[in-house]
Every structure is written in structure tokens, then in C-alpha cells.
Amino acid sequence: MKFSNDIEELVYLEYQDIDYRAYQEKIRYFERNKTAIGTLPYEFRLEMSLEYTVALFEVGEYYSYLKLVDDLLARVVEENIFSIDGDDIYQELLYRKAASLHNVLDYHGSDHVLTELCRIDFDNVIYRKTYLKNYIDRKRSAAQKARALTIALFMAAGLVIGLELLVVRPFYAELTSKVELTRNILFGSAVLLMVCHEMYIRFQAYKSLLKQKKRK
């Protein structure tokens, strides 16, 4: 496919001359030249749009990335674009979508995308690790009751420590051992609850990941 005029060719070549890791510069150039880019042949316009969208992700503009990625995914499928420079562009976009959803705290949305990625390529270590991280963070976020109970136990232990230092030891020394036992039980219970809950979440995460392998 050829350019229809010299201006189109100049815009495309200038954009490609920018180092692929200079994400901010890529973004600024694309946004300054949107009108000219919109006149490019479809193939070049799509290529530049892909680079621009990836650059948004790389600089942490996750919401902006999410606004554009679904349209690009649809176009990639429609055009049967399997790879660019040896990379599976569909999976690259999809993975960044999952990571973006995770970073904006949409754990359920990220879980849906990561589940699809694990079914596509379960042997991909990055997909598996990200799936586990997202699952664990999602469960942690939802575990309001366990977190509240743990905090309550730590606060109760702190209160007992305060009473022990300010009241019991100076005025009721004979109760010190009982107060120490109460404090240790409260603190130990909080730590045990926290550790057990974390282990349970991780167990469930690995169990869920293995289910995805079976569903391939």
C-alpha cells in the first residue's frame, strides 16, 4: 500500500523514527497529528494506532488505554492480524487490557480477561502469575469481615497492652500474668487469622488456576 501524498509519508516516517521506548514522545506526536494520521491508508493508520495505544499503557494511562483497546482488538480479529514483528498482537493487547483493569482495581474484569488468556496459552508463565496475583488481590479486597475481625483483634490487644502498662502493673501487679495471657491470646489470634486467611486465599487461587488448565 502506498501513500497518496508526501505529507502522509512524512507523518508516518517521522512517527516511526521516534524510538519505540520513547512512549511520551510517541503519544505527543500522535495527538498533535491526529488529523493528518486520519488521512493515512488504513494499514498505516492501524499500525500507528496500535503503537499509540500500547504507549498509553506503558506510561500508566490505563483508563485511556481501556477506552481504545476493545476497538483495536475487534479490528485485529477482523483483519486477521496474527503478529507484528513476531509478537502475537491479539494476546499482547489482551494482556495489557487485563493488567490495566487490575491497575484500576477492576479485579473481576481482569479475572475474565486473564481466564481467557490462560485458556489460550496456559504455559505462559506471565499469564499464570498475573492470574494468581489478580485472584489474590480480588479475594483480599472482598474479605471485609476477615479484615475487620483481624483489625479488631489487634486493637483489642493494643488496648490490653495500654491497660497493662498504665493500670495493672502499677496498681494490680497480681493480675499481670492474666493480663499478659489475654494480650498474647488476642495478638496471637489476630496473627493466626491473618496468616490462615492469606494461605486459604492462595490455595483457592492455585486451585482456580488449575481449573483453567483443565478447560483448555
| Integer Cα distance of 115 and 215 in angstroms | 10
Task: Read off the pLDDT of residues 155-185 as tens digits, 9 standing for 90 and up.
Answer: 887 887 887 777 767 777 777 777 788 878 8
∠ CA 17-23-29, nearest 5°, is 60
- Residue 27, phi then psi, degrees to nearest 5: -65, -45
How big is the chain, counted in residues?
216
Domain spans in the chain, listed from the N-terminal domain onward: 144-214
Neighbours of 59 (CB within 10 A): 13
Q: How many CB atoms within 10 Å of residue 12?
A: 20
Residue holding cell 502522509?
A: 8
Would you tell me how many other CB atoms lie within 10 Å of the CB of residue 54? 19
- Is the full-model pTM beyond 0.85? no
Per-residue pLDDT tens, the chain, 216 aa: give them. Answer: 555 555 667 888 888 888 888 999 999 999 999 888 888 888 888 888 999 999 999 999 999 999 999 999 998 888 877 666 667 889 999 999 999 999 999 999 999 999 999 998 999 999 999 999 999 998 887 767 677 777 787 788 788 788 777 776 777 777 777 778 887 888 888 888 788 888 888 888 888 888 777 665
What is the rounded distance in angstroms from the CA atom of residue 61 to the CA atom of residue 36? Answer: 23
